Amino acid sequence: MMKKKILIRFGDMMLKGKNIGFFIKRVRKHLVEKLKDLQVSYQFTHDRIYVDYQVDDEIDIINRLSQIPGIYSYSVVYVSNPNIEDMIKTAVHVLNVEATKAMMHIKIETKRADKDFPMTSQDITLMIANPIFQQANLKYTIDVKHPEETLRIELRKDFAYVYLRNHKGLGGFPYGTQGRGLLMLSGGIDSPVAGFLAMKQGIEVDLIHFDSSPLTPLESTQKVIDLAKVLSKYTLDGKIKLHLVPFTELHELILKNVFDPYIITVMRRMMYRIAEKFAIRNKHLCLINGESVGQVASQTLPSMQVVEAVTKLPILRPLITYDKLDIIKISEHIGSYPISIQPFNDCCSIYVPKSPVTKPMEVYAKKYEATFEFEDMIYQLVRNSYTLEISSDTHIDLSSYGFTLKEAMTTYQKESDVI
Ligand code: ATP
Ligand code: MG
């Protein structure tokens, strides 16, 4: 069996001038944490990481790499002795194992990190190309201008690396290097995807969900917990904080007091007000949500303007210009889709006004809000919220604990340690 390693590269991050050192350290830390239960060892160079591993773990390692923000690409490289004969042998092996079809247009590219090697990179390529193509099982065509694949050979002092493929990593920036944000997480398709995109871009994310049980079934909050598990894969320590806000009382007040077309507008203004309180307390620099322009009445530009007028925090909307189909693709990719499409309503879909305004005016929103006392209630809701720390091995089944968030949480708290 030929010896292999995984070579990891950093992308955009490398443009970051004096922050590079800090950024790369962060990715290293994340990687070491992610693989801590496996038998691996590392070589860290200034711009790459090599992972030495047990062959059995390869797929597992690759899966985990794809959850680390800041990794731009990686390759499985075959390790050869640094002499012509062995490099040819290894290259033939790589083609036999990895190349997928005959007559493929291939280029060979040699790089020489060991400048003492007595031949130039080009001379090496010329010398090994013919023997490689002659000995490989399939026949290939050399094409240096428009190759379908490039066989790369990196020659170092003590060994050479030979490989065919670059796999794309998550990209973005190392987790947490861009500050903290609070994601408004519903049980729908969009918000988990928005959260994933923010996390991949280096924002450390906490989650907030507004629960309206028993107006909405507790299963919709269970969906949120399950979605939080999905998102926890991308954090540095595999844990993510979820604030559950008991929103029911305020929800009922809104339904009772607000003119039908303005219900969603006012409800969303309340959510932003509450989220802002959490954000300030926990040093979040922004709120993040899954809105996409034009998707529903509450996501027109005039709606967004009236809703976000209640907070000074920047609102990040990673999906703002995405088509639904593209959002679904990402949600399938990260594994949130099957959870999101389970048929339980969250608080914005349980009560859909007959004709929601698409161009609300803030004066009216304020007028309806002035008809009931909400400030104190908001403070109370914040105080009565529950915070869970979710990881991929969290097991909570809310519906087995009761019908309301309070019931469920009281039982759950008795059984475990809620913060
Ligand atoms: P999603 O698929 O994310 O639910 P949506 O298209 O259904 O989005 P809305 O229901 O209008 O849109 O919600 C817009 C955004 O508001 C959501 O993406 C989410 O970020 C936030 N949001 C909605 N309901 C809740 C809730 N109950 N708790 C927390 N955030 C919410
Ligand atoms: Mg929704």
Confidence at residue 413, expressed as pLDDT on a 0 to 100 scale = 80
What's the chain's average pLDDT?
92
Which ligand 1 atom sits nearest the alpha carbon of residue 193? 3
pLDDT higher than 80, residue 418: no
Nearest CA to ligand 1 atom 24: 186
Confidence at residue 353, expressed as pLDDT on a 0 to 100 scale = 73
Instruction: Give me the mean pLDDT over the 141-163 stretch.
Output: 92
Confidence at residue 1, expressed as pLDDT on a 0 to 100 scale = 72
Give me the sign of the Cα torsion angle 210, 213, 215, 216: positive
The percentage of the chain sitting over the pLDDT mark of 90, rounded to a whole number, equals 77
Q: Hey, where are the domains in the chain?
A: 4-168, 180-418
Distance separating alpha carbons of residues 276 and 310, to the nearest angstrom: 9
- 114 within 8 A of 155, measured Cβ to Cβ: yes
Helices (H) and strands (E) in the chain, counts: 15, 15
Strand-pair category, 71-80 with 386-391? unpaired
Reported as a pLDDT band with limits 50, 70 and 90, residue 349 is low
- 207 within 8 A of 367, measured Cβ to Cβ: no
- 75 within 8 A of 151, measured Cβ to Cβ: no
| CA of 290 relative to ligand 1 center, distance in Å | 6
Confidence at residue 394, expressed as pLDDT on a 0 to 100 scale = 92
Read off the DSSP letter of residue 357. -
Considering the segment(s) 4-168 as one domain, its CATH architecture is 2-Layer Sandwich (3.30)
Distance separating alpha carbons of residues 306 and 399, to the nearest angstrom: 36
Nearest CA to ligand 1 atom 10: 348
Q: What is the tens place of the pLDDT at every residue in 224-268? A: 999 999 999 999 999 999 999 999 999 999 999 999 999 999 999
Nearest CA to ligand 1 atom 22: 186
SS3 call for 107: strand
Read off the DSSP letter of residue 400. G
Confidence at residue 339, expressed as pLDDT on a 0 to 100 scale = 97
Distance separating alpha carbons of residues 307 and 305, to the nearest angstrom: 5
Residues with a CB atom less than 6 Å from ligand 1: 184-186, 188-191, 208-210, 289-291, 295-296, 298, 346-348
| CA of 413 relative to ligand 1 center, distance in Å | 27
pLDDT higher than 90, residue 104: no
Count of residues in the chain: 419
Q: What is the tens place of the pLDDT at every residue in 69-86? A: 999 999 999 999 999 999
- 358 within 8 A of 299, measured Cβ to Cβ: no
pLDDT higher than 70, residue 350: no
Q: What is the tens place of the pLDDT at every residue in 5-42? A: 999 998 766 666 677 888 889 999 999 999 999 999 99
Confidence at residue 114, expressed as pLDDT on a 0 to 100 scale = 78
Q: What is the tens place of the pLDDT at every residue in 185-232? A: 999 999 999 999 999 999 999 999 999 999 888 999 999 999 999 999
- 10 within 8 A of 68, measured Cβ to Cβ: no
Distance separating alpha carbons of residues 394 and 392, to the nearest angstrom: 6
Nearest CA to ligand 1 atom 31: 186
What is the fold, at CATH topology level, of the domain defined by 180-418? Rossmann fold (3.40.50)
Nearest CA to ligand 1 atom 7: 188
Partnered with residue 288 across adjacent β-strands are: 183, 316
Angle in degrees, 0-180, between the axes of helices 362-369 and 263-281, rounded to the nearest 10: 80
Nearest CA to ligand 1 atom 12: 291
Distance separating alpha carbons of residues 63 and 233, to the nearest angstrom: 11
Which residue is it, tokens 């099957």?
338
Confidence at residue 401, expressed as pLDDT on a 0 to 100 scale = 84
| CA of 102 relative to ligand 1 center, distance in Å | 50
- The pTM of this model reads 0.93
Among 182, 184, 319, name the best residue to mutate to test ligand 1's pocket (greatest count of ligand atoms within 8 A of Cβ).
184
Closest CA to 347 of 254, 411, 256, 261: 254
Nearest CA to ligand 1 atom 4: 188
Which residues make up the environment of ion ligand 2, defined by Cβ < 5 Å? Answer: 186, 188, 348
- 71 within 8 A of 172, measured Cβ to Cβ: no
Please work out, in degrees rounded to the nearest 5, the angle formed at the alpha carbon of residue 196 by the alpha carbons of 193 and 197. 90
| CA of 410 relative to ligand 1 center, distance in Å | 26
Region of poorest pLDDT, from 21-30, 377-386, 408-417: 408-417
| CA of 349 relative to ligand 2 center, distance in Å | 6
pLDDT higher than 90, residue 341: yes
Confidence at residue 101, expressed as pLDDT on a 0 to 100 scale = 80
- 228 within 8 A of 240, measured Cβ to Cβ: yes
- 193 within 8 A of 330, measured Cβ to Cβ: yes
pLDDT higher than 90, residue 280: yes
The percentage of the chain sitting over the pLDDT mark of 70, rounded to a whole number, equals 95
Which ligand 1 atom sits nearest the alpha carbon of residue 220? 27
> How much of the chain is in helix, strand and coil states, percent to nearest 5?
45, 20, 35
Confidence at residue 22, expressed as pLDDT on a 0 to 100 scale = 85
DSSP string, 51-67: EEE-GGGHHHHHHHHTT
Among the bound ligands, the one closest to the CA of 292? 1
pLDDT higher than 90, residue 161: yes
Reported as a pLDDT band with limits 50, 70 and 90, residue 49 is very high
| CA of 324 relative to ligand 1 center, distance in Å | 14
